[in-house]
Amino acid sequence: MTTSFHPPVRTLMGPGPSDVNPRILEAMSRPTIGHLDPSFIALMDEIKSLTQYAFQTKNKLTLPISAPGSAGMEACVVNLVEPGDKVVICQNGVFGGRMKENVERCGGIAVMVENDWGTAIDLRQTEEALKANSDAKFLAFVHAETSTGVLSDAKGLCALAKKYNCLSIVDAVTSLGGSEVDVDGWGIDAIYSGTQKCLSCTPGISPVSFSDKAVDIIVNRKTKVQSWFLDMNLVMGYWGEGAKRAYHHTAPINALYALHEALVILKEEGLENSWARHQYHHKALATGLEAMGLAFIVPEADRLPQLNAATIPEGIDEAAVRKALLEQYNLEIGAGLGSLAGKVWRIGLMGFACNKKNVLLCLGALDSVLSQMGASIQTGIAVTAANQYYTQESLSRI
């Protein structure tokens, strides 16, 4: 007999989704109203304003795409790139490769700047590519590479884009809310993110923002945007200003209640406080992992606090460890992707899941499971080391 689905209660410390704040789950359960209801139109305006706050921008074309972060990526690319346009793309992990795929599907020419996985994007190498391709129209890169746990210098890369008369397209799926993102201050032209990472919201929405320069390109395209659903020329009519809105699609109403609540929570905490919290608990986790004998593949200066890529002890079946963590502790961590598959675990500390309780749970569970499997680690000290960090350091000093 078919029955209702009741999922197990997990602690989500993988690369996303992250644990959802109970306030957000409650917001989703509120009554559904029409997508052109005056009350919902008012909520849309609040969501736009709060999204501008999260991105630190005054861009008028700032809105949530009714689909996950991958659709945000596609929305930025399909609206800006026309056949024959040259795009310099920096790749230091999986998601730079997805940018390339999107550009090429739009008929654009992708010029790749390849950096080793686990390293930040090299500004000198990027500048050389821009010099060699003076006809490039865009510079695209991933700010926070989820596949490797690397945070690149978005401010420096956007400055290079301006220097060489390119518009910047930035992937902030894992950085928004967890690390500094300053759209106006850095001069970002098109940016996209996702709700399921540091916003602690449910998956399925992608906040995006376009500068005035980007909007000018979108409005004056020579060819139609290849995606009807993601065409900002059409979407603007629904997410524009004022009470009168043109029907474009039926928005995911309850999911947008959730996003609104997530952004309210972010504003209550404050952007700077959220960034500091992610850094604080990352340092505690790193202290414990390194005391245990695990290493990071990313140099400390380039580490992404909310996504920790930790090495696997020699001779250990990494998938078996993840299975044991799930079965014994209801704890999810992530596997490596691409060239790092089988070499690292990706441990997320995102949004609501970024807290002391989860740090200590993860360290204790890993210690226990690896000890059971006979791993060559320093047993019994990871939690103590993290607690010592918490005792010695306060969040106010980060």
Q: What is the pLDDT of residues 7-27, one digit of tens each?
A: 999 999 999 999 999 999 999
pLDDT tops 80 at residue 396: no
Ranges in the chain annotated CATH 3.40.640.10: 21-268
Look at the chain and count its residues.
398
Q: Give CATH 3.90.1150.10 domain extents, the chain.
A: 271-397
* Cβ–Cβ < 8 Å for 62, 214: no
CATH of 271-397, one of 3.50.40.10, 3.30.1490.20, 3.40.630.30, 3.90.1150.10: 3.90.1150.10
For 130-168, write each residue's pLDDT tens digit. Answer: 999 999 999 999 999 999 999 999 999 999 999 999 999
Angle between helices 94-105 and 69-80 (to 10 degrees): 40
For 79-117, the DSSP string reads HH--TT-EEEEEESSHHHHHHHHHHHHTT-EEEEEE--T
Beta-bridge mates of residue 64: 207
Instruction: Please provide the CATH number assigned to the domain covering 21-268.
Output: 3.40.640.10
Q: What mean pLDDT is predicted for residues 265-290?
A: 98
pLDDT tens per residue across span 308-336: 999 999 999 999 999 999 999 999 999 99
What tokens were used for 179? 């690390």
Residues 6+ apart with CB under 8 A from 242: none
Q: Is the pLDDT of residue 395 over 80?
A: no
Over residues 171-183, the pLDDT tens digits come to 999 999 999 999 9
Tokens of 219: 């409005």
Q: Which residues contact 357 (CB under 8 A, 6 or more apart)?
A: none
